[in-house]
């Protein structure tokens, strides 16, 4: 959700570049090109399945900041992140997104990414709405997804989520605030904001949930969530671990908001390292 913009900007000048080399590439889809970046290891995960990051509703590769490098170093795995269509450096998205956009990402952008990079097996790691996409991906590729990690993910629509979005919408309406989005999305910024707000506040989206996808998950699950998350209560990760069709662990981060990988990076890295070491 919107928290990644504010958090990333707050510490942008406090993080030093890491020495781990990163490789950029472009993914071709029928609707346009997607920008992708890889840190460490090999793209096809020849030794260990790579971790694929899925960004939040206002996010992109650049907004992950140094986290992918640190994640690659902590786990010894390749880490791959990409901008969904309409976000960051990827091509514009033509028109509105559908109410099933979370489920569809598994069969569109993500499918093109793993096919063109030759990724056979992977760990899906999603933040916020990207966590919902990671769940859908795990269910869609049960023989290829060997681990599922959600961070601040929404598993259903609750009043707290909608209220947080309305608050952010009002903040972005203030003079000069859209420049924060334009810094990362360029002239696509207004589409990015509208896609988030219009979809989640739509009456047609009110009954959305991940129940069916969660029941189809067959790999180990780690669900991380801050107790002070402004976009979702702890009922969100609790539903994830309860309904997941595989062993699942709940990790509640005390005094943490919507962006744990920024607010409590060391804790997140430790939890992910322990998860992938024990499970894979």
Main-chain dihedrals φ then ψ at residue 87, nearest 5 degrees: -120, 155
Asked if 24 contacts 35 with a C-beta cutoff of 8 angstroms, the reply is yes
b/e code 6-23 from CB counts within 10 Å (16+ = b): ebbeeeeeeeeeeeeebe
- Which of these ranges, 12-21, 191-200, 241-250, has the smallest mean pLDDT? 12-21
Tell me which CATH homologous superfamily contains domain 3-146+155-279: Alpha/Beta hydrolase fold, catalytic domain (3.40.50.1820)
Q: How far apart are CA 200 and CA 192, in angstroms?
A: 13
Q: How far apart are CA 265 and CA 272, in angstroms?
A: 11
CA atoms within 13 A on the CB side of 184: 29
CA atoms within 13 A on the CB side of 241: 15
Q: What is the mean pLDDT of the chain?
A: 92
Asked if 88 contacts 62 with a C-beta cutoff of 8 angstroms, the reply is yes
The pLDDT tens digits of the residues spanning 30-52 come to 999 999 999 997 544 457 999 99
Predicted local confidence at residue 228, as pLDDT: 98
Asked if 254 contacts 227 with a C-beta cutoff of 8 angstroms, the reply is yes
Predicted local confidence at residue 13, as pLDDT: 34
Main-chain dihedrals φ then ψ at residue 88, nearest 5 degrees: 50, -125
Predicted local confidence at residue 95, as pLDDT: 84
Predicted local confidence at residue 47, as pLDDT: 75
pLDDT at 59 over 90: yes
Q: Model pTM greater than 0.75?
A: yes
Residue 219 DSSP SS3: coil
The pLDDT tens digits of the residues spanning 65-118 come to 999 999 999 999 999 999 999 999 999 998 889 999 999 999 999 999 999 999
- What is the helix (H) or strand (E) element at residue 164, kind and residue range? helix 159-172
Which residues on adjacent β-strands are paired with residue 52? Answer: 80, 124
Q: Please, which residues have CB within 8 angstroms of residue 15's CB and are 6 or more apart in sequence?
A: 65, 66
pLDDT at 6 over 70: no
The pLDDT tens digits of the residues spanning 156-165 come to 999 999 999 9
Q: How far apart are CA 108 and CA 119, in angstroms?
A: 15
Q: Where are the domains of the chain?
A: 3-146+155-279
Asked if 96 contacts 102 with a C-beta cutoff of 8 angstroms, the reply is no
């Amino acid at each position: 959700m919107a928290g990644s913009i504010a958090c990333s900007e707050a510490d942008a000048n406090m993080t030093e570049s890491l020495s781990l080399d990163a490789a950029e590439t472009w993914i071709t889809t029928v609707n346009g090109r997607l920008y992708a970046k890889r840190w460490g290891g090999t793209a096809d995960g020849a030794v260990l399945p790579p971790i694929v990051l899925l960004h939040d509703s206002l996010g992109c590769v650049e907004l992950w900041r140094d986290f992918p490098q640190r994640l690659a170093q902590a786990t010894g795995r390749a880490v791959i992140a990409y901008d969904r269509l309409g976000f960051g450096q990827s091509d514009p998205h033509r028109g509105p997104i559908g109410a099933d956009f979370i489920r569809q990402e598994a069969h569109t952008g993500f499918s093109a990414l793993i096919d063109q990079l030759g990724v056979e097996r992977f760990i899906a790691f999603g933040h916020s709405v990207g966590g919902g996409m990671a769940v859908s991906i795990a269910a869609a590729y049960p023989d290829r997804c060997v681990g599922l990690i959600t961070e601040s993910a929404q598993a259903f629509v609750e009043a707290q989520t909608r209220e947080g979005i309305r608050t952010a919408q009002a903040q972005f309406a203030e003079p000069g605030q859209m420049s924060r989005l334009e810094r990362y999305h360029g002239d696509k910024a207004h589409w990015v904001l509208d896609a988030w707000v219009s979809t989640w506040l739509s009456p047609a989206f009110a009954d959305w949930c991940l129940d069916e996808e969660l029941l189809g998950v067959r790999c180990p699950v780690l669900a991380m969530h801050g107790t002070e998350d402004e976009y979702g209560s702890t009922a969100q990760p609790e539903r994830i671990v309860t309904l997941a069709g595989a062993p699942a662990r709940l990790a509640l981060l005390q005094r943490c908001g919507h962006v744990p990988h920024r607010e409590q990076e060391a804790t997140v890295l430790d939890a992910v390292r322990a998860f992938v070491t024990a499970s894979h």
